[in-house]
Amino acid sequence: MPFGLLKYGISNDYPFEKEADLPLPTELKRQYDVVIIGGGGHGVATAYYLAKYHGITNVAVLEKGYLGGGNTARNTAVIRSNYLTPEGVKFYSESVKLYENLSNEFDFNIMYSQRGQLTLAHTDATVRAFRQRAEVNKHFGGRTELINRQAVGELVPSLNLDPAGLPILAGLWHLDGATARHDAVAWGYAKGATQRGVELHQLTEQHGVDLPFAFNRKEAKTHGEGGNIVGAPLAGDVVVIDDVMTAGTAIRESMAILNESGARGAGVVIGLDRCERGDGQRSAVQQVEQDWGLAVVSVVSLHDIIDWVERNPEMAQHREALERYRERYGVA
């Protein structure tokens, strides 16, 4: 619990009704430096850190429903770092450390509780996998260990060690495992962001914009909806959205899928244009535009990033590497 909230535990004077955690809604402005789509955990965290660490506060977070009401409201609320890959262990260990102090940072109780996580093994194969995971975790500083059946019983005395003919053989005990109220995490980030000038706009779907969407999961799913395409049927004019364009392969694959479905590509929006060469002297973007007759719009390009680095002395150490990358792979 945030230290600043402890005093209200023995007082009737709690300021919640007087000072709302989030400001009242405002009208959308005509222009923002950054627009973030989605008011879930990722969206409001991005807004918060843009404001806190980079001073970028002319930001609008647009949420079609309510704050934290999408995937954030439906996750398991488990915080852990007992992953298998070295990169995963190091990345999520930093995340666990971040969560430990969020309540005090926000002055908002996210109900963080570090109580450990126990995952059970019912087969020899799972025991072997847990042993490997525990060793990787230990090597990179994680507090994870493989415990035997007896230790599992001592740790959780009420646990049935022989459920439905599937005896528990061992357990992966992750001491750093924790839980938090996922909606409270979103509210805490939103509170911190709006206090710094960020605008949060909820119920934006009520403005009359309702467009179907689908995504390509790359590998076919054999259960649930099944297939590669999940979401609305592909029909009519379709805008293809991707995070980055390197050689344009993903876009060409998407266009082939649209053609097979009888839909038409209406344009392409990408987060980052790496400005890499396609065939000959054309860039990958130019190749897609000319071969498919589509307009390609990028949020940012490699040229933009290099220009920004040149204008910011604190980023100067990255300029040479970016220039080498553009010289080796890019177009002018």
Q: In terms of CATH, what superfamily is 20-76+181-207? A: FAD/NAD(P)-binding domain (3.50.50.60)
Catalytic one among 18, 29, 54, 223? 223
Q: Which CATH class is domain 78-95+104-179?
A: alpha beta
pLDDT at 77: 84
Q: For strand 237-245 and strand 117-121, is the pairing parallel, antiparallel, or unpaired?
A: unpaired
- Average pLDDT of span 40-51: 96
pLDDT, residue 56, reads 97
Residue length of the chain: 332
Cα separation, 258 vs 264, whole angstroms: 6
Phi-psi region of 244 (alpha: psi -120 to 50; beta: other; left: phi over 0): beta
CB 51 within 8 A of CB 35: no
Distance from C-alpha of 43 to C-alpha of 9, rounded to nearest angstrom: 32
Residue 226 has pLDDT above 80, yes or no: no
CA–CA distances in Å: residue 215 to residues 69, 218, 295: 21, 9, 20
Query: Using alpha carbons only, how large is the chain's radius of gyration in Å?
Result: 25
Q: How many CB atoms lie within 10 A of CB 261?
A: 14
Q: Where are the domains of the chain?
A: 20-76+181-207, 78-95+104-179, 214-329
pLDDT digits over 179-224, tens only?
999 889 999 999 999 999 999 999 887 665 567 888 876 665 555 5
Q: What is the pLDDT of residue 218?
A: 64
* CA angle 95–179–96, rounded 5-degree value: 15
99-113 confidence digits (pLDDT tens): 999 999 999 999 999
Q: Residue 186 has what pLDDT?
A: 94
Q: How far is CA 208 from CA 63, 92, 100, 211, 303, in A?
A: 14, 39, 41, 10, 36
What's the CA gap between 81 and 76, in Å, rounded?
14
As a whole number of angstroms, the distance between CA 91 and CA 141 comes to 12
Catalytically annotated residue among 29, 221, 303, 318: 221
Domains 78-95+104-179 and 214-329 in one fold: no
Q: What is the mean pLDDT of the chain?
A: 86
Helix, strand and coil content of the chain, in percent to the nearest 5, comes to 40, 20, 35
Quote the CA–CA distance of 108 and 72 in Å, as a whole number. Answer: 17
Whether 223 is a known active-site residue: answer yes
- Written as one letter, the residue type at 253 is E
SS3 90: helix
298, pLDDT greater than 60: yes
Residues 119-172 have pLDDT tens digits of: 999 999 999 999 999 999 989 888 999 999 999 999 999 999 999 889 999 999
**Strands (DSSP E) found in the chain:** 34-37, 59-62, 78-79, 113-114, 117-121, 144-148, 170-174, 178-179, 199-201, 214-221, 227-231, 237-245, 264-273, 296-301
State the pTM of this model: 0.59
- 3-class secondary structure for 258-316? HHHHCCEEEEEEEEEECCEECCCCCEHHHHHHHHHCCCEEEEEEHHHHHHHHHHCHHHH
Task: State whether CATH 3.40.50.2020 applies to domain 214-329.
Answer: yes
